[in-house]
């Protein structure tokens, strides 16, 4: 039995790796159509505190994608409060995609991380039960060096979600992107929307 030359094996393995990478990349985007409806669900970062309503990230994202994005952000809301109102919003809007951005107020109030994770998980399961997709946004814990709390990555992996884990940490670490210590300005929301737009493929 003839064995393949080492050079042939090299190119076969290389091609296989490229195929895996391509599949992985495509799985990191939510596929929608021009008729799709997106709900942006969260707290003040979703509502757009620090900028005008037309400069909030849902408003900018709608312009960038050319689809309807409904802003359902409530300033000051914790994940428990978000969970309590989520089902009514799902019934009202019947979205194709929900962008889930919660945790800032839980972390500022030093509520248990286990509670935040449980609330987010229940929200994810509820959204999926309505046959909608989820993009999970990672939120940083207040610190000198900002990074997304690990539970967001764990939830994304557990539920096989498309996630944007780094953009808020990066933006809130830049003075030029912030209106105050915990909110973005118009430039920051523009960059936030652009990062999320890369996770969505309009067909």
DSSP symbols for 6-73: HHHHHHHHHHHHHHHHHHHHHHTSEEE-TT-EEEEEESHHHHTTTS-GGGSHHHHHHHHHTSEEEEEE
The pLDDT of 39-64, averaged and rounded, is 97
Residue 136 has pLDDT above 70, yes or no: yes
Mean pLDDT, rounded, for 35-42: 98
Going along the chain from its start, the domains and CATH numbers come out as 35-202 (3.40.50.1110)
- pLDDT of residue 198 exceeding 60, the answer is yes
pTM score of the predicted model: 0.85
pLDDT in tens, 72-120: 999 999 999 999 999 999 999 999 999 999 999 999 999 999 999 999 9
Give the separation between CA 152 and CA 149, rounded to whole angstroms.
Answer: 6
pLDDT of 13 higher than 90:
no
């Amino acid at each position: 039995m003839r064995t393949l030359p080492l050079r042939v094996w090299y190119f076969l393995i290389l091609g296989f790796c490229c195929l895996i990478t391509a599949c992985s990349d495509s799985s990191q985007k939510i596929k929608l159509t021009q008729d799709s409806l997106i709900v942006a669900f969260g707290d003040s970062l979703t509502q757009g505190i620090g900028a005008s309503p037309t400069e909030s990230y849902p408003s900018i994202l709608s312009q960038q994608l050319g689809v309807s994005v409904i802003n359902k952000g409530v300033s000051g809301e914790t994940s428990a409060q978000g969970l309590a109102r989520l089902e009514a919003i799902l019934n009202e809007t019947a979205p194709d995609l929900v962008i889930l951005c919660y945790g800032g107020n839980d972390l500022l109030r030093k509520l248990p991380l286990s509670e935040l994770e449980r609330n987010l998980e229940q929200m994810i399961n509820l959204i999926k039960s309505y046959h909608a997709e989820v993009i999970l946004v990672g939120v940083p814990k207040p610190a000198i060096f900002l990074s997304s709390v690990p539970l967001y990555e764990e939830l994304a992996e557990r539920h096989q979600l498309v996630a944007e884990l780094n953009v808020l940490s990066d933006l809130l670490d830049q003075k030029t992107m912030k209106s105050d210590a915990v909110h973005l300005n118009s430039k920051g929301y523009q960059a936030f929307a652009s990062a999320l737009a890369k996770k969505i493929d309009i067909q």
